[in-house]
Structure formats: structure tokens, C-alpha cells
Amino acid sequence: MSDPSAPIGVFDSGVGGLTVLRALRRALPSASFLYLGDTARLPYGTKSAATVTRYSEQCAAALIERGIGCLVVACNTASAFALSALERRYADIPVIGVIEPGAAAAVAASASQRIAVIGTEATVAGGAYQAAIRRLNARAEVSTRACSLFVALAEEGWTEGPLAEAVARRYLGGLFEGEAAPDTLVLGCTHFPALETAIRAVLPPGVRLVDSAATTAAAVERRLGADSGRGGGAVRWLATDGAARFARVGSLFLGEPLAAGEVEIVDL
């Protein structure tokens, strides 16, 4: 990052990326951040690669215009489809997605190298996690499951209890049965860590969960190194629609109160 005082830009289709921001703030407590949630156009996970790439480029441009020194793509679908384009366009600053760090953590965590990945429809169908894991270990066995309803549950704040567990059981039923069952599960959407309690409730004991938020924060910390952490610790909040809803649901993901008056609505 050329200017250590420049904020780190983070964007997501909505509030799910706040799990990444939360991890980043723990890893880099003195850095400043600029977070953009594209709430007017969520979810990204049901849209085409071309549309996700266009939206991602618009989000990135809005953050670049506001002087960021590092770009974190805190959305698995955007990382799957748009990361390469963003790296080419903004080659003068670090551009970091969530998939490569998550894949590396999964390979490191799995004793059997049988790994399951859950994500949105687009992330799973695009094959980015499968490809990233197999680049690290060609012999890894990767199974996937699209769990798109988890996004809606997380956005509504229905992250624990009978409803969340019933949905988790419906999605994950059969995936972890038999002698060749995966021993590691990648939460391949930044919304999914909010449902960790419900997901764990339906998993066999001993299955390791990989949260791409924590692994991405560690990757950003390694990338920025000594040049990070001199921005004062402030966070500026941007959204494309619904400041009150962003603040209400975002508070659940962030783990602390967020006021609607702090959220600036921007037009991309």
C-alpha cells in the first residue's frame, strides 16, 4: 500500500462482508476502513458472471475514487467472477479476495483432504473453490452444495434456532455420511459464519469449519505487513440502499451497534 494512512476498501453485495471487516479490524486495529455494501442489487449469488463483474467493477471504482490504498473483495461470488479483472485494473494497489485464503486454510485443516464447500449458487457453479483447492492439492476430493437460502436467513437475522437448523439439515443432509465423508467444511459465503451455530448443530462431531473471513484477514495482514495500521482505526460506511436496514442487520454481523445515520447512501 503506497500510503499507509489510506483506508482499506472492502465491498460486498450486502452485509455479509461485515464478517470480513470484523476480522480485519481485529487483525489490523489501527487501520482505517471504507466499507461498501451494494444492498440495492443483492444478492450477487443468483446473477450471471458478467453482471457480477460489472457490479464489482462499479463498487471498486467508488472505493478507489475515495482514496483507498488496498481493496478487499469480501464477497465469494465477486471473488470468483471478478477478482482477475479487478487485479488487472488496479494493479497499483493490493487486491485481495476471499477464495484463495479460504482454500489454503481448508487444505491445511483437512487430514483426509476430503473437503466440502458450501456457497451461493453462482459460487458453487463457477467452480472457483474447487479449482483453488486442487491447485494446492491435486488429489483433494471436493464436494459442493449450494445453500442460497442461508443468505436470506442471515440477512433477516434468523441465524439460530429450529428454523435455521431445519434449513441447515435440509442442505447438508447426506453430505457428511459414510466412511468417505469430508472432514472439513468451507463456509464459502461471507454470510454463512453468522449461521455457524445452526450449521454445527447438524454436523457430525469433529468436522472442521473454515471461515473465509478470518483467513482473508490474515492474508491482508501478511500482504500489507509493516505498511498497515497507521490510519486511525475509523470506519466509513457506504451502502447503495436502505441505510436503516443496513444498520440493523449489519449490527448483527459486526457484533456492535451501527446507527443508520452513520451510513452514507451512494449511487453507483
Active site residue 75: yes
Q: What are phi and psi of 23, to 5 degrees?
A: -70, -40
DSSP per residue, 46-103: TS-HHHHHHHHHHHHHHHHHTT-SEEEE--HHHHHHHHHHHHHHTTTS-EEESHHHHH
Q: Residues 125, 44: contact at Cβ < 8 Å? A: no
The grid coordinates of residue 31 equal 487501520
Residue 33 per-residue DSSP state: E
CB 52 within 8 A of CB 82: yes
Q: Which residues contact 180 (CB under 8 A, 6 or more apart)?
A: 114, 141
Catalytic residue among 59, 70, 75, 147: 75
Catalytic residue among 59, 70, 147, 189: 189
189 a catalytic residue: yes
- Tell me how far apart the alpha carbons of residues 227 and 224 are, in angstroms, rounded to a whole number: 6
Report the first-to-last Cα separation within the chain, whole angstroms.
25
Catalytic residues: 75, 189
